[in-house]
Structure formats: C-alpha cells, structure tokens
Structure 1
C-alpha cells in the first residue's frame, strides 16, 4: 500500500514536471515565445482536465506540486530582489509603486461593487495585477484561505492578460517611439509579471530594460508589507478567540531571508541564473497543479466578470502610469 502511494506520488510530481518541461520547450517556438511558459502550462493543464478529467490516482503528487513546490518557488523568488538597490536607487519609483499597487487593488474592488463578480477572484486578480502576477497571488492566497481552483483561475487570467498587454506595449513602442527611460518605467509600473516587463521593456533597449526591472522589483518588494496588511485585516475579522492564533504564511519569511541573502551576500551570477531557472521550473510545475483544479464551467460561471474588471483596471492603470512615467 505504502509503495503504491509513493509510486502515485512520484507519478503526480512527474506529471507536473513533464507538462512544465513541454511548456518551456513550446515557449521557445515562434509566436508561442510571446505567450510564455506559464500561460502555456496553465492552458495545457485546463485542457487536459477538460478532455481527460482530473487524474485522481496521482492526486497526492499533483497536490505536492501545487502547494509545497509553490511555496518553495515563492521563497526562492526572493533571490530576484536586491533590497539595497530598490531602497536607494529606486526610492522615488518605490513611492510610485505603492500608488500602483493600492490603485490596482482598490479600483478592482470598486469595479466589483458595480459588476458584482466573485469577490475572492477579484481580490486575487487585483493583487496579481498590482504586485507581481502569479507570485503575489500564490503568496497572499493562503492568508485569504483561497480555494485552489480560484488561485488557478486568477493566475491563468493574469498570465494571459499580461501577455496581451506586453505585446501591445511592444507594438506601441514600435509605432510611437518614446524616451527609453520613460518606456521602461511605464512597463515596470503597469505590467503584470516580471517576464512581461522583460518582454515589453527589452524592445526599448538596455536602458529601458534596466529601469523597467528596477520599477517592477519595487512592486515585488511591496509583497512583504502587503502580506502583513492582509494578515492584520483577516485576523481582525475573526472572533477574538480565533484571532489569538495568527495564521501566518511562514514561507514569506523565507522570501525575505532570500532577499536579504541576495542583498548582502555576493552570489556569483552563474549561481543566480541556475537558481532563477530552477525557480521558474518549479513555479510552472505548481501552476500545472493549480490549472488541473480549474474546469471550463468554473471559467464560464466565475471568471467572466472578474476578467472584465481586471481588463478595465489594466487599461486604466496603463493610461495613468504612461503619463506619470513621462513626468518621472
């Protein structure tokens, strides 16, 4: 019995690994290289469930990928942050980023009062849009007690929406060239994932890419205080008896430690590149696990209104940050 369970566990982890590798390989092909491995993996997982059903026999391994590997990816994500650079070189941009995060979340919530979509999905999408896409959703969803299918839906929508916007930015820059620094700030302040910022800002050259990443990493940094804010809000809503026990996502401490390590320890660039590749791989494996929890019926019944709210918010955010980037 134990051997069979271990076998199914390994098969489940292997299943998410294979789809992740295939997604990465597909993302190197023309056209698909604009979509990105994350979006490809989630779409593949959703399609697999639709046509083949959820593979319950290997559920333990899939659950390990969607939960444990996801948390490990968030911890390692901290190696992308250099706190000193963000605080000293990007202090003005950090203030700008605070406004971006606050606007995205608050505007989504405000829109939802009008369109009356799923509240939890809207909040997750607001967090993903304002901060750093899948990583932010994955980090804060445990605090909100979000269901795996909601996490999968929101991550998938953010990945797809971000891809559309980053391609649009690249096209707009080609048609209407703007100052590389302003373009980089605009991309870093408004696009959803780090990968989306790289895709868009790279069109503006090395200067645009550098300032774009600095702006974006400021938003990633804000994941730490934002998590604390949500912890306080959620625990205040609980009864006094329950509120004594703070349900803290301890992997965020790992995220902060890794950020500190990257800030104060001189890590060889080759090691950082390897860790970045590994982080991307396990994050995509986690997304496969989450995607398998999403059905087309969920997308039809729950995702339409939140998706509309996110699209409107993303457009408004792009317009506002475009003008502010020109001033900065």
Structure 2
C-alpha cells in the first residue's frame, strides 16, 4: 500500500480525469440504447431493430436538446473503440465457409462499386464547383466506410476542419437514410437475403449502418452484408495510399503520411478463423452475440448523437447535392451489378 500522500494525490486526479472524460458519455449512450430497446416493444416499431432506433433516438436527442460537452469523450469512445470491438465480436457468428458465400462475383461487385463511386463523386464535385479536398472526403466516405474513411483520407488531403465535419455530417445523414430505407426496398426489387446483403454491404456508408440494415432483413442478409462491407473497409489502406501518392505529385515533400491499418478488419478475420477451426459452445456463442448487439446499439446511438444537422448548412447546398448524388449513384450502380451478377 502506498501511504505517500503526494503519490495518492497524483493518482486521484488521474482517476478523476478518466471518469470525468469517458463515463458521462458512456452513460448517455447507454441511456439512448436503453430507450431504443424499450421503444422496440411499442406498437409499430417492432419492425425496426434496436440498432436503427438507437441512431434515430441519438440524432433527435443531440439536435433537439444539444450535446453536453462533458459527454463528448465517452460518445467518441463508443463510436470508435466500442463499435469496432463489437464488429470484431461479430466474427464469432461467421466461418470461412460463410465468407466464401459472396464469391468472387461479390468481391468484384464491391471493388467495382468502390472505384466507380469514388471517381464519379470527384468528377461531379469538380463539375459543380465543390472544392477538391471536400469532394475527396465525400467520395471516400461514400465509397469506402463513412466517417472512418473521411478521417483517414484527411491525413493525406489535409482539408479544413469544417470540411471534415461537413463530410461526416452528410455521410451520416445519407447513410442513415440508406439504413432505414434499403430494408423496405428489398421486396420491391425482388432481392433475396443474399442479394440484399450484398447490395447493403456494397453501398451503405458506415459499417454499423450496414449491419443495422442487413440484419433487419434476416441473419443471412446481415452476415453477407457484414462480409461485403468489411471487404470494402479492407480497401481503405490502398485507397489512402493512392490518394497520398496523388497529393505528393509535384510536391517537394517526400515524407508522406502513413495510412492507418484497419486493425479491426484484421481482428475480425482472426476471429472468423478461430470460429472456423474451434467448436465454441452454443451458450458462449449466444452470450457473445448478445454482447455484440448491445455494443453495436451503443455505437449507433453514439453515431446518432454526433450527427449535427446544422453542419449541413455551413458549407452551402452544392456539397450536400454532391453527397446526395454520390449516395444515389452507389445505390443504383451496386444494385445494377447485384441484379446482373
């Protein structure tokens, strides 16, 4: 036991700082998630999963009541680390046999959709007069993996903070629209669970949004959507490297920026490998699945809390039109490929 009062005083502020920084936001996120689970029991809302209700509840809370400053650290923790850990846990619900289910055709659809959407968005941005850096952020967020791709892309584009905020807000908005609307369109377009999962994974912006939409239409749809989406996420590093090479073209600075490794994709693959090789008891599988769903719900609640609608007005209508056009393009392009393949 350390009886030194000086050391004790040093430790106490550290613990207080951690508690004040993370816990309030975690409590708020947990409350939003609890509201989502409770609301699902109401008549008319049983159609929606807790994950979808959580992001809507979070957006309503933050845009009506405002976001407490002392809760931001815990909200960011939930949206990043907690969400990615939950995605890793989803690996226990998949095996390599299921992963192979999307086939080479599925991988081709994902890659073609990503490349076409990025090029379309950048070209349209130039055509309608959107700044190149902001257009690249919107293109990366739409074509790859939402806010994570925007932040990663900004490492090499070095856009202004308000551009990053605008891009994240726009991507969150249209990704949420896709998450809510795509499951309702599956019967309209005659998509079975596999086809819908492939479409959702190839076109919806955020990983958590893909999972929310995918599992809304069934387990097979959710698993297919998860694999397809994580295939897109795995392409983040090559895309950032390519953008870095483009940004350095003609520049005397040869240091460059190192693209971030999507560690949770690597961990997800490792967990799938473990689940494919080792027989895990059914009770353990059920407990892990429940934990993953709760953490995903909390992560989506945090995402909703971070979505500030007012940011969409800060940069005018042209970037918003660009984000909307990119949203429509990736939805139509990927759906066409899914139907053809």
TM-score between the two structures when normalised by the length of structure 1? 0.74
Cα 1:123–1:89 change in 2 (3 A) is: closer
* Contact 2:86–2:296 under 8 Å retained in 1: yes
* Contact 1:81–1:259 under 8 Å retained in 2: yes
Residues 1:54 and 2:71 are matched in the alignment? no
User: Which residue in 2 is equivalent to 1:320?
Assistant: 336
- Select which of 28, 33, 38 maps to 1:15: 28
- Select which of 160, 166, 181 maps to 1:164: 181
Pairwise CA distance, 1:142: 4.5
CA deviations over 1:62-96 (Å, ceiling 9, x no partner): 23223322332333343344334333773444334
User: Which residue in 2 is equivalent to 1:260?
Assistant: 273
Alignment of 1:192-271 (within 5 A): 192=204, 193-200=210-217, 202=218, 210=220, 212=221, 215-223=224-232, 225-236=234-245, 237=247, 239-243=253-257, 245=258, 247-271=260-284
| Whole-angstrom distance in 1 between the partners of 2:119 and 2:93 | 27
Cα RMSD (Å) of the superposition? 3.4
Pairwise CA distance, 1:125: 2.2
Pairwise CA distance, 1:121: 3.0
* Contact 2:83–2:295 under 8 Å retained in 1: yes
Counting matched residue pairs gives 300
Pair member with larger Rg? 2
User: Which residue in 2 is equivalent to 1:206?
Assistant: none
User: Which residue in 1 is equivalent to 2:308?
Assistant: 295
CA deviations over 1:185-237 (Å, ceiling 9, x no partner): 4312322324423434x5xxxxxx74x45653441341354123124224434
Alignment of 1:19-58 (within 5 A): 19-58=32-71
Pairwise CA distance, 1:104: 4.1
Pairwise CA distance, 1:318: 5.8
| Whole-angstrom distance in 2 between the partners of 1:35 and 1:153 | 23
CA deviations over 1:44-78 (Å, ceiling 9, x no partner): 22332233222113333223223322332333343
Residues 1:125 and 2:139 are matched in the alignment? no
Cα 1:6–1:259 change in 2 (3 A) is: same
Cα 1:27–1:304 change in 2 (3 A) is: farther
Cα 1:89–1:16 change in 2 (3 A) is: closer
Cα 1:235–1:185 change in 2 (3 A) is: same
| Whole-angstrom distance in 1 between the partners of 2:173 and 2:91 | 22
* Contact 1:23–1:41 under 8 Å retained in 2: yes
Pairwise CA distance, 1:17: 0.9
| Whole-angstrom distance in 1 between the partners of 2:310 and 2:102 | 47
- Which secondary structure state, in structure 2, belongs to the residue aligned with residue 292 of structure 1? helix
Pairwise CA distance, 1:297: 1.4
User: Which residue in 2 is equivalent to 1:5?
Assistant: 17
* Contact 2:88–2:265 under 8 Å retained in 1: yes
Cα 1:53–1:88 change in 2 (3 A) is: closer
Cα 1:22–1:317 change in 2 (3 A) is: same
Cα 1:284–1:168 change in 2 (3 A) is: same
Long gaps (5+) in structure 1: 128-135, 203-208
Pairwise CA distance, 1:158: 1.1
Cα 1:138–1:289 change in 2 (3 A) is: same
Cα 1:63–1:294 change in 2 (3 A) is: same
| Whole-angstrom distance in 2 between the partners of 1:77 and 1:115 | 41
User: Which residue in 1 is equivalent to 2:81?
Assistant: 68
Long gaps (5+) in structure 2: 1-11, 156-163, 205-209
* Contact 2:102–2:224 under 8 Å retained in 1: no
